[in-house]
């Protein structure tokens, strides 16, 4: 039924929209548009998939607030964006409510009770990444459904209304995009290796754009969640399916692990930057902490005068990235388990000291610039939502890698995460993102693995000004950092701030990664300073909403199928 409604809506958009929306919209042979940006007045949703953005917009139009729209979008992403949208993974929500409260909900996966520090090491002490990254043992206890039920108290509409579009999309199917067809085809081998029963994402012939993906088992799981709430996932039939799946592949998630899972509200990472108030995700995400470190390390320097993507500005930003990521590796972990010297890490004096060895015009060195002295495929998905009541929501969720562990829970139809790889399986051995860690991020039962997800809201005079976030593993904080600097310092439009080339340095490896369209002359100048530079595939898929007076500008990243929808568009 929803598919029919969407096709109808898409047809209406095509028929009446010229002039109302961005010129970047295009048909993709699927019957709906991918709309890259929109200016509007009454609310907006930007997500990784047009159908999910449309679901969120529809909820706003039905009188839902930004949290309602976020819940519905998140559930729809679990159906239409199975590479990262999920109910088998985890995530973080950062929200600013109309009454002025800032809310952070942590629904990061947890290590199962049977997990142990050296569980991925072989008898010679080598990390077996085939176990931490693939299959049943790679999964942490999923947090997404508990997270959604922690969000419900801030919503207005009945939950049954918010989940129904996802159920309809799973049950009736939807037309996949060209990018999705290609992604299912290239993951076929892993799906076949990790699953003993047929999965919805594999078919005998090649997937093509416009093919319909139907997920009946997932629809039934979503119905159990609709009818029984959180228990419809963590107990009863769904929990039994998960545990039965675990037993097929030496997995260790138990019924008790599921029953005991709880999402947590945590105090926001809340700091000022040149008069703006930045609200971001605290630990167990490293995102907010290192975003704060990076912004504070440039705050006292006139980066605006250095101009966008000159060798000077890129070098400064690279060097603050290096220092923040060195601290990430040394000091950060789940605050419920380890002591983190947070106050010091973000203090003015400490950050000033960190920049003492910064030399303009000369590349730093990660062997010399280590963590400060204190006595510590990148598939995730982000969506941003704003309503016309003053509520703003930024949510990033993840299965970790694309399609997580590639294990689909038989009978329940959803993919389990491979988030255990975000722990440090062995000190000094990089994980799939090249991130290093130590005991602070070692595996322990019920501990949350360190994340990089950085859902962020910037307030101007106490009101939402920017809602931002991105997928991208360890590149997430640097992409959010650069997007904020582009807008707040280089006065760039939201469209350019999202789409202009990005770069990334994470201390180890000591290498500056740049996108293909990064300016060649700046690359040369940076190489002359001594930087080791690698051109890499796209960095992140940033979704931004900017609020300027009554005007809302919503932008989906050019790098994927990302899509922005707005309520009451301005022609
Ligand atoms: N799995 C990616 C992250 O949480 O950082």
Number of separate domains in the chain: 2
Is residue 433 in a domain? no
Pocket test for ligand 1, best of 380, 397, 477 (most atoms within 8 A of CB): 380
Read off the pLDDT band of 431 (50, 70, 90). confident
Whether 107 and 11 map to the same domain: the answer is yes
Pocket flag, ligand 1, residue 561 (CB < 6 Å): no
Across the range 332-338, mean pLDDT stands at 96
Q: How far is residue 459 from each of residues 155, 188, 391, measured CA to CA in Å? A: 21, 44, 11
Full residue range of the structural domain in which residue 473 is found: 266-380+453-566
Average pLDDT value for residue range 478-504? 98
Q: For the residues 235-259, what does the mean pLDDT come to? A: 97
Question: How open is the CA angle 379-381-385, to the nearest 5 degrees?
Answer: 170
398 close to ligand 1 (CB < 6 Angstrom):
yes
Q: pLDDT class for 178, splitting at 50, 70, 90?
A: very high
Q: Which of 476, 477, 480 has the most ligand 1 atoms within 8 A of CB, as the residue to mutate?
A: 476
- pLDDT class of 20 with cuts at 50, 70, 90: very low
- Taking a C-beta distance cutoff of 8 angstroms, is the pair 78, 62 a contact? no
In angstroms, what is the span from residue 270 Cα to ligand 1's centroid? 21
194 lies in some domain? yes
The confidence score (pLDDT) of residue 492 equals 98
369 with 393, same domain? Answer: no
CA atoms within 13 A on the CB side of 207: 25
Segment 360-387, tens digit of pLDDT: 999 999 988 877 766 436 679 999 999 9
Instruction: Tell me: do 253 and 330 sit in the same domain.
Output: no
The arithmetic mean of pLDDT across residues 515-526, rounded, is 98
Q: What is the pLDDT of residues 443-461, one digit of tens each?
A: 999 999 999 999 999 999 9
The confidence score (pLDDT) of residue 11 equals 36
Average pLDDT over residues 547-557: 96
Could you say which of 39, 380, 381, 470 is catalytic? 380
- Please compute the mean of the pLDDT values over residues 394-409 and round it to a whole number: 96
- Length of the chain, please? 571
Q: Using pLDDT thresholds of 50, 70 and 90, give the confidence band for residue 441.
A: very high
Distance in Å from the first CA to the final CA of the chain: 30
Which region among 50-64, 434-448, 497-511 has the lowest average model confidence (pLDDT)? 434-448
Q: Is the CB of 378 inside a 6 Å radius of any atom of ligand 1?
A: no
Q: Within a domain: residue 443?
A: no
* pTM as predicted: 0.93
Radius of gyration of the chain (CA): 22
Residue 180 lies in a domain: yes
Tell whether 169 is covered by a domain.
Answer: yes
Same domain, yes or no: 286 and 353: yes
- Among candidate residues 141, 122, 142, the one with its CA nearest the CA of residue 131: 122
Asked if residue 5 has pLDDT above 50, the reply is no
3-state secondary structure of 14: helix
For the CA of 396, the nearest atom of ligand 1? 4
pLDDT of residue 433: 80
Same domain, 513 and 562: yes
Place of tokens 């030399």: 359
Q: What is the pLDDT of residue 562?
A: 96
**144 in contact with ligand 1, CB cutoff 6 A:** no
Rounded-to-integer distance, Cα 388 and Cα 105, Å:
22
Co-location of 61 and 119 in the same domain = yes
Q: For residue 252, how far is the Cα from the chain centroid?
A: 26
Query: By C-alpha distance, which of 346, 369, 234, 237 is closest to 297?
Result: 346
| Closest to 172 (Cα-Cα) out of 211, 213, 200 | 213
Q: What is the percentage of the chain residues whose pLDDT exceeds 70?
A: 94
Same domain for 177 and 288? no
The overall average pLDDT reported for the chain is 93
pLDDT of residue 28 exceeding 80, the answer is no
Claim to verify: residue 296 and residue 200 sit in the same structural domain:
no
Confirm whether 380 is a catalytic residue: yes
Low-confidence winner among 8-22, 245-259, 379-393 (lowest mean pLDDT): 8-22
Let me know whether 205 and 343 are in one domain. no
- Least Cα distance to 180 among 85, 266, 296 occurs for 85
Q: Is the pLDDT of residue 18 over 70?
A: no
Distance (Å, whole) CA 337 – CA 14: 53
**304: closest CA among 316, 292, 291?**
316
Burial pattern 425-442, b for ≥16 Cβ within 10 A else e, equals bbeeebbbbebbbbebbb
Claim to verify: residue 507 and residue 359 sit in the same structural domain: yes
d(CA 269, CA 282): 5
CATH of the domain at 334: 3.60.20.40
The answer to whether residue 440 sits within a structural domain is no
Per-residue pLDDT at 553:
98
In a domain, 445, yes or no: no
pLDDT of residue 430: 83
Residue 438 lies in a domain: no
Please tell me the distance between residue 83's alpha carbon and the centre of ligand 1 in angstroms.
Answer: 14
Q: Which of 304, 309, 317, 307 is nearest to 521 (CA)?
A: 309
In this model, does residue 19 exceed pLDDT 90? no
Residue 183 in this model has a pLDDT that exceeds 70? yes
- Tell me the HSE value of 75 on the side-chain side, using a 13 A CA sphere: 34
Structure tokens given for 268? 């926001």
Q: What is the pLDDT of residues 274-317, one digit of tens each?
A: 999 999 999 999 999 999 999 999 999 999 999 999 999 999 99
What's the pLDDT tens digit per position in 342-352? Answer: 999 999 999 99
Q: Which of 184-193, 234-243, 369-378 has the lowest mean pLDDT?
A: 369-378
Name the 3-class secondary structure at 526: helix
CB of 451 closer than 6 angstroms to any ligand 1 atom: yes
Do 414 and 496 have their domain in common? Answer: no
Are residue 133 and residue 271 in the same domain, yes or no? no
Closest Cα to atom 4 of ligand 1: 451
């Amino acid at each position: 039924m929803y598919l029919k409604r969407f096709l109808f809506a898409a047809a209406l958009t095509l028929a009446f929209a010229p002039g109302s929306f961005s010129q970047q919209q295009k048909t993709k042979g699927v019957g709906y548009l991918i709309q890259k940006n929109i200016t509007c007045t009454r609310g907006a949703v930007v997500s990784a998939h047009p159908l999910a953005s449309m679901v969120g917009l529809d909820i706003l139009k039905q009188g839902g607030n930004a949290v309602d729209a976020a819940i519905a979008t998140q559930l729809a992403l679990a159906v239409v964006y199975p590479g990262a949208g999920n109910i088998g993974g985890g995530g973080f929500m950062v929200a600013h409510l109309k009454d002025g409260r800032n809310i952070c909900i942590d629904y990061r996966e947890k290590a199962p009770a049977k997990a142990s520090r050296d569980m991925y090491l072989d008898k010679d002490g080598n990390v077996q990444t085939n176990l931490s990254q693939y299959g049943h043992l790679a999964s942490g206890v999923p947090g997404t459904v508990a997270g959604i039920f922690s969000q419900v108290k801030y919503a207005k509409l009945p939950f049954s209304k918010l989940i129904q579009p996802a159920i309809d999309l799973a049950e009736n199917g939807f037309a996949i995009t060209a990018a999705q067809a290609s992604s299912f085809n290239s993951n076929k081998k892993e799906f076949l290796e990790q699953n003993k029963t047929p999965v919805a994402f594999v078919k005998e012939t090649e997937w093509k754009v416009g093919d319909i993906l139907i997920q009946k088992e997932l629809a039934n799981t979503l119905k159990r969640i609709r009818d029984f709430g959180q228990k419809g996932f963590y107990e009863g039939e769904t929990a039994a399916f998960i545990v039965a799946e675990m037993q097929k592949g030496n997995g260790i998630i138990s019924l008790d692990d599921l029953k005991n899972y709880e999402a947590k509200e945590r105090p926001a990472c809340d700091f000022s930057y040149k008069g703006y108030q930045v609200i971001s995700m605290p630990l167990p995400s490293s995102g907010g902490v290192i975003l704060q470190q990076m912004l504070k390390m440039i705050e006292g320097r006139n980066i605006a005068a250095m101009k966008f993507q000159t060798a000077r500005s890129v070098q400064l930003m690279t060097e603050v990235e290096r220092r923040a990521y060195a601290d990430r590796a040394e000091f950060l972990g789940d605050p419920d388990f380890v002591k983190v010297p947070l106050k010091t890490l973000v203090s003015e004096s400490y950050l000033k000291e960190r920049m003492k060895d910064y030399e303009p015009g000369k590349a730093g060195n990660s062997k010399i610039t280590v963590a400060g002295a204190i006595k510590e495929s990148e598939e995730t998905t982000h969506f941003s939502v704003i309503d016309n009541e003053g509520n703003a929501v930024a949510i990033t969720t993840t299965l970790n890698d694309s399609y997580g562990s590639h294990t689909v829970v038989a009978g329940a139809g959803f993919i389990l995460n491979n988030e255990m790889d975000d722990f440090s399986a062995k000190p000094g051995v990089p994980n799939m993102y090249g991130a290093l860690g130590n005991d602070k991020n070692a595996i322990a039962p019920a501990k949350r693995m360190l994340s990089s997800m950085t859902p962020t809201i910037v307030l101007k005079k106490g009101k939402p000004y920017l809602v931002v976030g991105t997928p991208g593993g360890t590149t997430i904080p640097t992409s959010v950092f650069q997007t904020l600097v582009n807008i707040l310092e280089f006065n760039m439009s939201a469209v350019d701030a999202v789409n202009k080339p990005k770069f990334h340095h994470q201390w180890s490896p000591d290498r500056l990664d740049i996108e293909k369209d990064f300016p060649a002359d700046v690359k040369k100048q940076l190489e002359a300073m001594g930087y080791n530079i690698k051109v890499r595939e796209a960095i992140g898929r940033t979704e931004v909403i900017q609020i300027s007076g009554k005007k809302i500008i919503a932008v989906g990243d050019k790098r994927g199928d990302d899509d922005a929808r707005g309520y009451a568009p301005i022609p």
